[in-house]
Amino acid sequence: MTTEFRDIEREKFAINAKTCEWTIRAMTALRANIDISIKMHGPRDHLDQGDIFMFNHFARFETFIPQFLIALETGVYCRSIASGEFFAQDNTFSRYLRALGGVPNDYERLLPFLAEEILRGGKVVVFPEGGMVKDRRVLAAERPHPKRPDYSVYSRTADTRRAHHTGAALLGLCIDGFKIGLSTLIEKGHRDELSRWAGILEREEDDLRTTLAKPTLMFPANITFHPLRVDQNLLAWAADMFTGGLSPKMAEELIIEGNLMFKKTDMDIRLGDPVDPRLQFNWLDRRMLAKRVERARSIDDLFRPASTLEKITDRVTQYAITRHIKPLRNHCMAVMYSNLTINVSHLASRLIMMWLADGVTEVDISHFDRTLYLAIKNIQQAEDVHLHRGMKNPADYIGIFELNCPQIRFFIDSAVQLGLIERKDQKYCFLPKLQEDANFDQIRMDNPIMVYANEMAPIHAAWQALERARVEVDHLSAVDIAHRRFDDEIRAWSWNRAKYKGPKYDAINQQETATADSRPYLLLPNGQTRFACGVLLVHGFLASPAELNTLGEKLSALGYAVMGVRLAGHGTSPHELQKRKWTDWLESVRRGYEILAPFCDQVIIVGFSTGGALSAIHAADHPEKLAGLVLAGTPLKFRNRNLMFVPLLYGANKLMGWMPSAQEMLSFRPNESEHPDINYRNIPIGGLHQLRQAVAEMQKRLPDIDCPTLILQGDGDQVVDPASATMIRRIATNAPEIDVQMIKSERHGIVNEDIDGTHDRIIDFISDHCAAEMIEASAIPAQ
């Protein structure tokens, strides 16, 4: 290559730093003002280490996002391969793409040019699918290698299925082949080769040595969107209005991709494990690569097809590279597709297609929900799969049992709107359109269920989770479901502890003193699954299940099944409690009861302080199997008169929430706890407001309690006015039996500290109203 040609090439494809900087600022501003949530998963140092980044392609704006994120993280402006049609004319847009690092895919020196860029420290973004794959339909060969399946995708231009492009694999192999070959020559004493290639690449010899020692790392990555929306948007409406009518293809792209950007959408970008091309080469390849590099006059020679080389020796040495292209390409594709971020819509879509394949055209809604729930629980146990946060945070899916799961409701509503599913007589009816062939450019609009099902198809663990769920759904007992729901409680605790550990919460979190294990617990003595009696323990405000753990262990030792509830917002961070409502606390109690009840013939609820108020509200709903209620230190009146100012503080907090410094100042108050190892050190003002509302609701519901009730109250309690005990007894007029026992204590924590025989009093009440003897155990052991 002449110096003149090289200069022309550099000028033609020069990256303009100012253009890139402007674009990054513009995209940063856009990102802050649109509803798409972009999350990059994987170690951040991978972006620094990587040379070639490979992405799947579903939407047009994806061609800008990876370069934007890499530049933000590393400061390196990437090269990217774009369709030659965008460069056909020398206009403002084509010049803009070149300034951003774009290179047309039909450029005659495309791969040698990119190789030179990488050897000088650059990075390259490639889309090996060769275009948008709107149907997400990726097929493997009939007999693929188990670890490197030979995938294919539909090509719109060729109107047929074809293999993925091999350019990225060839690029990686040629670069590492060059590094290996030149390093081998240098080791053999051919110092002149280092000088020659330093001149060709216009690099200092020491810099080139450093480059040779670094492996050329390829990072296959997967971009997943959730959810897909097919409703009309302002972008499509405006374009249609001003252009006098859009083609179906253009309308589809504006609707789907406009909704991805401007309506709440998660865009998960997940980098797979790095692929090192040099690992493809064996000892014989390395010897041939040295010869190939020695004979090459430029980088271009390493990319020449073997069939174009005149000498047989050159063809043989070139074979050391070319024979690895397809295996490397296939391996990269396997990594790319295995890094799909699986969401609930994937599972629901594939589940529907599995039923249709079996000739099932309608299912009971309850059967659908239970099967889908079991599939979620199954895939949570799978290894080497990546789950969308909607399947990792139980709060996003546990409403599935009450038809109150927003993810599923949106999925079903969209399918009904599109004529894919019909709701009728408490069934989902799968309509013929689900199985009809859809036009490639319309499938995202016409049948997103098929798109989701196609996208999930390469993930075998997801198939297995669904197949197992379909088998289990008709055989699992209520106890089996309860075990899974308890697992959700543990996952919710873990999720929220992690969520509220970020730096922006440090100011409060670092003051916290609680060290006791704050997770919920389910105690099933001797591994049994059937008990005559179970006890639900509900802790107080600012505390955690640890507050009643000692009592729980005593009850378990006596043969009772015990569930220690974690009230939402507790046992994690005061910041979580600040965001919870008292109704969330009540839902925690209800879920705990539903988890415990399948193990028992009867249930006693023991609530302490605020937990007592919540327990009373739940008892007022007359849950099945409820045999008695214990309210310990439960407030109707508080000693602290400052609580009357909570509404004022809460209102000020809401008013000043737009000022971060003011919000931090107004949101929390210090708490001098009796048990700093259990309770939050900081009281959220919002939590106090919710506490007042919970107590007010209890007062209204007390007349509805119709079970035996024991009220325990410290006579010198410094938190709860002791008069609360008699007030509760006076209002709970329909309880068949109410026993008020005053505890000699000036402390609030009468249960935690077992003051004045509090534990024995509770145990005596339980034994009087609910036998502890265990009935015949189930054949399924406790988990």
146-155: pLDDT as tens digits: 455 678 888 7
Examine the pLDDT at 780 and tell me if it is beyond 60: no
Examine the pLDDT at 478 and tell me if it is beyond 80: yes
Examine the pLDDT at 256 and tell me if it is beyond 90: no
Interval 659-664 mean pLDDT: 42
Residue 654 pLDDT: 47
Q: Which of 435-444, 560-569, 714-723, 755-764 has the lowest mean pLDDT?
A: 435-444
Examine the pLDDT at 4 and tell me if it is beyond 80: no
pLDDT category at 53 given cuts 50, 70, 90 is very high
In one-letter notation, the amino acid at residue 642 is: N
Cα–Cα–Cα angle for 109, 112, 118, nearest 5°?
A: 130
pLDDT category at 234 given cuts 50, 70, 90 is low
Residue 11: CB partners within 8 Å, gap ≥ 6? none
Q: Nearest CA to 376 among 438, 469, 306? A: 469
Q: Rounded to whole angstroms, how far apart are CA atoms 697 and 690? A: 10
Residue 263 pLDDT: 86
Residue 366: CB partners within 8 Å, gap ≥ 6? 426
Please, what's the b/e burial string for 457-481 (b: 16 or more CB within 10 A of its CB; e: otherwise)? bbbebbeebbebbbebbeebeebbb
Please, what's the b/e burial string for 317-331 (b: 16 or more CB within 10 A of its CB; e: otherwise)? bbebbbebbeebbbb
Residue 8 pLDDT: 78
> What is the percent of the chain with per-residue pLDDT over 70, rounded to a whole number?
91
Q: Which of 17-31, 235-249, 396-410 has the lowest mean pLDDT?
A: 235-249
Interval 402-411 mean pLDDT: 88
Considering the chain, what is the average pLDDT of its residues?
Answer: 89
Q: Which of 475-479, 647-651, 725-729 has the lowest mean pLDDT?
A: 647-651
The full length of the chain comes to 783
Examine the pLDDT at 777 and tell me if it is beyond 90: no
Long-range contacts of 766-770 (CB under 8 A, 24+ apart): 766/533, 766/535, 766/555, 766/560, 766/604, 766/628, 766/630, 769/604, 769/627, 769/628, 769/708, 770/532, 770/533, 770/602, 770/603, 770/604, 770/627, 770/628
Examine the pLDDT at 345 and tell me if it is beyond 80: yes
Q: Which of 89-93, 416-420, 724-728 has the lowest mean pLDDT?
A: 89-93
Residue spans per domain, the chain: 3-34+43-229+265-335, 340-476, 480-769
pLDDT category at 22 given cuts 50, 70, 90 is very high
Question: Which two three-digit tokens encode residue 302?
Answer: 């390493």
In one-letter notation, the amino acid at residue 754 is: D
Examine the pLDDT at 666 and tell me if it is beyond 70: no
In one-letter notation, the amino acid at residue 712 is: L
Residue 139 pLDDT: 84
pLDDT category at 656 given cuts 50, 70, 90 is very low
Examine the pLDDT at 13 and tell me if it is beyond 50: yes
Give 246 or 416, the one with higher predicted confidence: 416
pLDDT category at 502 given cuts 50, 70, 90 is confident
57-68: pLDDT as tens digits: 998 888 889 999
Please tell me whether the overall predicted TM-score, pTM, comes out greater than 0.85 for this model. Answer: yes
Q: Is the dihedral of CA 222, 224, 230, 233 positive or negative?
A: negative
Examine the pLDDT at 771 and tell me if it is beyond 80: no
Interval 656-679 mean pLDDT: 69
Examine the pLDDT at 779 and tell me if it is beyond 70: no
Examine the pLDDT at 519 and tell me if it is beyond 50: yes
CB atoms within 10 A of CB 311: 9
- DSSP at 75: -
Interval 114-131 mean pLDDT: 94
683-709: pLDDT as tens digits: 998 898 899 999 999 999 999 999 999
Examine the pLDDT at 783 and tell me if it is beyond 60: no
Examine the pLDDT at 653 and tell me if it is beyond 60: no
Residue 644 pLDDT: 44
Interval 405-415 mean pLDDT: 92
Strand partners, 602: 533
Residue 363 pLDDT: 97
Residue 239 pLDDT: 58
Residue 154 pLDDT: 86
Residue 665 pLDDT: 44
Interval 363-371 mean pLDDT: 95
Interval 400-407 mean pLDDT: 84
Cβ-contact 199, 301 below 8 angstroms: no
Q: Rounded to whole angstroms, how far apart are CA atoms 705 and 700? A: 11
Residue 776 pLDDT: 38
Examine the pLDDT at 643 and tell me if it is beyond 60: no
Examine the pLDDT at 40 and tell me if it is beyond 60: yes
Check whether the bond before 43 is cis (ω within 30° of 0): no
208-233: pLDDT as tens digits: 999 999 999 999 999 999 999 888 76
Residue 148 pLDDT: 58
Q: Which of 72-81, 330-339, 401-410, 640-649 has the lowest mean pLDDT?
A: 640-649
- Spatial strand order of the sheet with 151-155 comes to 139-140, 151-155, 160-163
From the centroid of its chain, how far is CA 164?
28
Residue 667 pLDDT: 78
Q: Which of 38-47, 393-402, 435-444, 539-548 has the highest mean pLDDT?
A: 539-548
102-121: pLDDT as tens digits: 999 999 999 999 999 999 99
Residue 637: CB partners within 8 Å, gap ≥ 6? 720, 721, 723, 724, 727
Q: Which fold has domain 480-769?
A: Rossmann fold (3.40.50)
- H-run or E-run covering 342: strand 341-342
Give 506 or 778, the one with higher predicted confidence: 506
Residue 205 pLDDT: 93
Cβ-contact 675, 752 below 8 angstroms: yes
What's the number of CA atoms in the CB half-sphere (13 Å) around residue 680?
26
Examine the pLDDT at 658 and tell me if it is beyond 60: no
Q: Rounded to whole angstroms, how far apart are CA atoms 65 and 642? A: 52
What's the number of CA atoms in the CB half-sphere (13 Å) around residue 500?
21
